[in-house]
Homo-oligomer: A and B are copies of this chain.
Amino acid sequence: MSEQAKRPLSYGMIGGGPGAFIGDVHRRAIALDLDSRLVAGVFSRDREASLQTARELFLDESRVYPDYATMARKEAARDDGIDFVVIVTPNVSHFEIAKAFLEAGIHVVCDKPLTTELDDAQALGRLVAERDLLFAVTYTYTGYPAVKKARELVRSGALGRIRFVNAEYPQEWLATRAEADNRQASWRTDPTQSGKSNCVGDIGTHVENMVSYVTGLEIASLSARLDSFVEGRALDDNATIMVNYSGGATGLYWTSQVAVGADNALRIRVFGEKGSIDFRQEDPNYLRYTPIDSPAQILSRGRDDLGERGQSLVRIPSGHPEGYFEAFANIYRTFTGALRKRLAGEPLSDADRDFPNVDDGIQGVRFVTRAVESSASKGAWVEY
């Protein structure tokens, strides 16, 4: 792409109105890399709320639409229409909205989990392939440079053949009946908005994606127990899942929203014949790597060799902490980089495509589906 032709990319957003959490995160993360600008949106089903958010973001109100279908149609028709749309609504609506924009020929970024039904997720997968559009699913945590390094260590054979994976994601925030007065808690624990699972759907999918991304292991079967500890809660708030991978490795996952004392403690440990890695999301600038029978090494983002891919996502020197927004921005940076190449008609390399895509989204929905099935059968082993 020539220097002269460079222009900021433009995007629209569905969701992210007053009181929303993740929509705001998307906007800030995108802003951090100074490359894309929000120009259109439907921020709420409530028109006035939608306009309020638009004004706070200094948007031209002519591009604040009454509903997503109108927006998809009208933006697709503009010469200067949005380059991509960001979907940050509750889980149940992801499918219809994503479908509408794909059908309008617009590239999509969608929050996770992709859908609440596996069929829907697969339908989106087919649509993305047919239309040949870019589609990202924002599994935030694989965006950390240290996670890129973890993946590289596994792929390079530094750990040897992988034997066992222990991954966990405990939180405290639903340890009491928070759904009574917390909007985030309310929709996530409501089957009509969240789908068949709360805990596995919301954070278990991050575990599945993280393990899959770092190790490349494919789940062959699983045995799950979903607990619902808080009285009156319709969906799960704690889950333990045993996993068998193709090829003989095994794994153990735990997710919880009733783990008092845990903030957002996603952690993955991968044990191979020759070494192990240990990544803790709450301390994301470091990766613990231990070769067998040797001292543990603390790899520090920016200081130590994170490999070409990891290093490409580092903005500031070691010891200057990067965090959640930067992990998020790394997904966008990669997505928009690919989009710019696509717009310029250039081919995409593997590194260009290193953002979570619709297939990763489908895997997540499959994981939730199978876990719910197994738990409903008292933990029976379910083929994947």
Residues of A within 8 A of B (CB): 3, 6-8, 21, 24-25, 27-28, 31-34, 55-58, 159, 163-164, 166, 168, 171-173, 175-176, 223, 225, 227, 229, 238, 240, 242, 250, 252, 254, 256, 258-265, 269, 271-276, 278, 281-285, 288-300, 302-304, 315-326, 378-379, 381
* A32 with B296: CB separation less than 8 A: no
Within 8 Å CB of A271, what residues of B?
256, 258-261
Within 8 Å CB of A288, what residues of B?
261
* B254 with A320: CB separation less than 8 A: no
A59 to chain B, nearest CB (A): 11
Cα(A350)–Cα(B34), bound, Å: 32
* B34 with A32: CB separation less than 8 A: no
* B320 with A316: CB separation less than 8 A: no
A7 to chain B, nearest CB (A): 7
* A321 with B57: CB separation less than 8 A: no
A208 to chain B, nearest CB (A): 17
A230 to chain B, nearest CB (A): 9
In this complex, the member of A171, A176, A321, A381 whose beta carbon has the largest number of chain B beta carbons within 10 angstroms is A321
Contact flag A240-B252 (CB < 8 Å), given A282-B319, A323-B323, A324-B316: yes
Cα(A278)–Cα(B298), bound, Å: 14
How many copies of this protein are present in the complex? Answer: 4
Cα(A262)–Cα(B159), bound, Å: 14
Contact flag A258-B32 (CB < 8 Å), given A58-B7, A175-B273, A292-B175: no
Within 8 Å CB of A293, what residues of B?
172, 303
* B297 with A295: CB separation less than 8 A: yes
* B6 with A58: CB separation less than 8 A: yes
Cα(A24)–Cα(B317), bound, Å: 12
Q: Considering the complex of A and B, which 4 residue pairs feature the smallest CB-CB distances, nearest first?
A: A264-B319, A263-B319, A261-B290, A321-B323
Instruction: Name 9 A/B residue pairs within 8 A (Cβ), A-sorted.
Output: A27-B34, A28-B33, A166-B168, A227-B250, A260-B291, A261-B278, A261-B288, A297-B298, A379-B381
Cα(A171)–Cα(B320), bound, Å: 11
Within 8 Å CB of A58, what residues of B?
6-8
Please name 4 further chain A to chain B contacts, defined as beta carbons within 8 Å, in addition to the given A34-B57, A263-B317, A293-B303, sorted by A numbering: A6-B56, A7-B58, A31-B31, A175-B292
Cα(A324)–Cα(B272), bound, Å: 29
Q: Which of B7, B27, B254, B263 contacts A318 (CB 8 A)?
A: B263
Q: Which of B164, B258, B264, B297 contacts A259 (CB 8 A)?
A: B164
Cα(A304)–Cα(B326), bound, Å: 23
Cα(A316)–Cα(B28), bound, Å: 11
* B28 with A292: CB separation less than 8 A: no
* B254 with A166: CB separation less than 8 A: yes
Q: Which of B263, B284, B295, B303 contacts A302 (CB 8 A)?
A: B263
Contact flag A262-B319 (CB < 8 Å), given A252-B254, A295-B300: yes
* A296 with B300: CB separation less than 8 A: yes
